[in-house]
Amino acid sequence: MHKYEIEELPLEYKGKDDKVIFERGLSLYSKGKYRESLPFFHHLNSPNFEVLKYYHLGLTYVQLGELNKGLSFYKKIREIPSDVQGIEYDRIMYGLYLNMGSTMQILAKKKGKSLYREAIECYKLALQINKSDPRVWNNLGNAYIEIDANSEAIKSFEEALKLDSEYSEAHYSISLAYEFSAQYRKALYHLRKALKEKPNNKLILNRIAALEFGTGNFEEAKQFAEKVLALDEENITALKNIILILYNMEKYARAYEYYLKFHRLAPNFSDKEVLGIFRDLEKRIQFSSK
């Protein structure tokens, strides 16, 4: 017995065949009636439905936001003897491992990095069943990034891009791994590839601006920061970037114009290193006005 309280089946379903009970639970689940579907999945008793039972209980509890419960049911599938797994086992397990991996990544943000390692194992198990989905390789790479295993992350993203060379999410993800590995030229290459698919994505544009600035390409950085501001004139990240870029280009008056807007929009900004540059900018403007 599970430690979770199980509601009774409606009277009209008591004594019904497991197939009928499962189909009713699946119907409720597909309509978004997750809580109502739970008794139907809980009351499946036939070994032929054991995989489906735990799989759908896991899915349903995850949908309800009860992630730990969902994981506990996912994990029970791995305990099922091979002689009752059925012909759909691989297909179900593939979906299971993907769901377990993504659920563990969500939980890891609250409960600690050790769950990223469990997510990695789930994605690896999924890839043993099917290696041809670039999304799984991308998910695996993102989990590696979270535990600072950037070289392994890069290998995973490369596999995703072998399967789909235009996969913008993988280009963006691998750019992070390269940036964290201080391989800035490669990071920029993949960011530009991601930008082709999403030319007005402010996150990508801001990252390109920051990396171009960090590698000393101030004019390039300025163009990308200006593009973000053309899309969103109050974008805090782009305003900060362009102030720093113009300051380093010694265009202090123009930098100060942006600084006034930035200060109005982000009065509680607290990065000490950047604030030091802002203070110097203020002094230069005050000195030049005397």
Confidence tier at 72 by pLDDT (50, 70, 90): confident
Output the six-digit token pair for 75: 């994990």
Q: Are 233 and 226 spatial neighbours (Cβ–Cβ below 8 Å)?
A: no
Residue with tokens 């203020």: 282
Amino acid at 91: R
Average pLDDT, the chain: 90
If one counts every other C-beta atom within 10 angstroms of the C-beta of residue 48, the result is 14
pLDDT tens column, 24-69: 999 999 999 999 999 999 999 988 888 889 889 988 998 888 887 8
**Domain 214-290 homologous superfamily, CATH:** Tetratricopeptide repeat domain (1.25.40.10)
- With 70 as the cut, is the pLDDT of residue 290 above it? no
More confident call, 226 vs 85: 226
pLDDT digits (tens, 9 = 90+) for 172-186: 999 999 999 999 999
Reported as half-sphere exposure (CB side, CA atoms, 13 A), residue 123 has a value of 27
Question: CA distances (Å), 287 to each of 14, 274, 277, 283, 284, in order?
Answer: 85, 20, 15, 6, 5
Tokens of 149: 């295993």
Q: Domain ranges in the chain?
A: 214-290
CB 145 within 8 A of CB 153: yes
Question: Per-residue pLDDT tens for 129-138?
Answer: 899 999 999 9
Tell me the per-residue pLDDT of 256-288, one tens digit each, with 9 for 90 and over.
999 999 999 999 999 999 999 999 999 999 887
Query: Is the pLDDT assigned to residue 82 strictly greater than 80?
Result: no
Angle between helices 202-214 and 184-197 (to 10 degrees): 160
Q: How confident is the model at residue 289 (pLDDT cuts 50, 70, 90)?
A: low
Which pLDDT band, with edges at 50, 70 and 90, does 5 fall under?
Answer: low
The closest alpha carbon to 209, from 234, 194, 182, 188, belongs to 188
> Tens digit of pLDDT for each residue in 103-124?
888 888 877 788 899 899 989 9
* Residue 135 Cα distances to 127, 162, 247, angstroms: 11, 12, 41
Q: Helix 202-214 to helix 236-248 angle, to the nearest 10 degrees?
A: 20
The pTM score is: 0.79
What residues contact 138, with CB distance under 8 A and at least 6 apart?
A: 156, 157, 160, 167, 169, 170, 173
C-beta separation of 60 from 37 below 8 A: yes
pLDDT of residue 141: 98
Contact predicate 181/150, CB 8 Å? yes
